[in-house]
Amino acid sequence: MTPADLLSEGELTVRGRIREASNAALYCTVAHDGQEAACVYKPVAGERPLWDFPDGTLAAREVAAYLVSEATGWGLVPPTVLRDGPYGEGMVQLWIEAVPDAELLALVEEDEPGPGWKAIGLAEVGEGRTALLVHADDARLRRLAVLDAVINNADRKGGHLLPAAGGRLYGIDHGVTFNVENKLRTLLWGWAGEALTEEAVTVLGGLQEQLTEGAVLAERLAGLITPAELDATRARVDALLTAKAHPEPGGEWPAIPWPPV
């Protein structure tokens, strides 16, 4: 049984609440036929209304982000499903144990990032002082930056990056994605304006095909986001392939989420 099947078919038991989350997020276990795994359950009923996203749609957007991630072959989003649970329909996602002390973000006193780092921008650190916020020049983060550009992620914070065992990296919390308007807000601006890798161009080309009308991915996304949002996703992929470069901040929306972590 795949992790996604286990999440879909297993018995969901609530074990506690994740209090740091802005929307209701419950730590659970899911069990079926002798298999068990930890997971996160975010019921639609616990979603906080947002002015720029329709009510009750965040769970479906999280599943849509997982499907697009799987279509890239990069596996950057943990297995995620939409299902019924103890508090109604919601998103259920495999729990990822983060590896401690993985250096992906840092504050440095220098004006320029050192070798192996990319600059994000200046951050206030108290008493009128500023420091340069940087992220690792890491191929896994670069892939995630491409995925975020495709799904129009409005909230890529440092706390949403989970380094895992075996060198894996996952991104979580994709409820505010797929908006028709450009809302890309992320800490991963270090490659802004730089040419996409050949790998990314190849992956985007495959994604373009999978998003064509009638394709399996397009059909599955059509059940999770609106037709206009699906068209906007296609347009973002087309734009990335035309430019063959990482996007730059547009200026009409704050480029960096706050707080950044």
Q: pLDDT-derived band of residue 30, with 50, 70 and 90 as boundaries?
A: very high
- What proportion of the chain, given as a percentage, has pLDDT over 70? 96
What does the pLDDT look like over 101-139, one tens digit per residue?
678 998 888 888 889 999 988 776 666 678 888 999 999
Q: Which pLDDT belongs to residue 107?
A: 85
Q: Which of 21-30, 60-69, 106-115, 164-173 has the lowest mean pLDDT?
A: 106-115
Cis (ω within 30 of 0) for the bond into 259?
yes
pTM beyond 0.85, yes or no = yes
Average pLDDT, integer, range 143-148? 98
DSSP annotation string for 59-122: HHHHHHHHHHHHHHT---S--EEEE--TTSSEEEEE---PPTT---EEEESSSS--TTEEEEEE
Q: pLDDT-derived band of residue 42, with 50, 70 and 90 as boundaries?
A: very high
Query: Is the model more confident about 20 or about 65?
Result: 65
Query: Above 90 in pLDDT, residue 260?
Result: no
Phi, psi (deg, nearest 5) at residue 117:
-130, 155
Q: pLDDT-derived band of residue 250, with 50, 70 and 90 as boundaries?
A: confident
Q: Which pLDDT belongs to residue 19?
A: 84
Q: Which pLDDT belongs to residue 240?
A: 98
What does the pLDDT look like over 184-225, one tens digit per residue?
999 999 999 999 999 999 999 999 999 999 999 999 999 999
DSSP annotation string for 51-65: TTB-TT-HHHHHHHH
Query: Above 70 in pLDDT, residue 156?
Result: yes
CA distances (Å), origin 235, targets 45, 49, 203, 208: 31, 27, 15, 9
Average pLDDT, integer, range 39-60? 95
- Amino acid 110 reads E
DSSP annotation string for 118-146: EEEEEEEEETTEEEEEEEE--HHHHHHHH
Beta pairing, strands 90-94 & 35-43: antiparallel
Measured distance CA(11)–CA(112) in Å, rounded? 51
What does the pLDDT look like over 16-28, one tens digit per residue?
998 877 789 999 9
Q: In what order do the strands lie in the sheet with 129-136?
A: 105-108, 129-136, 117-126
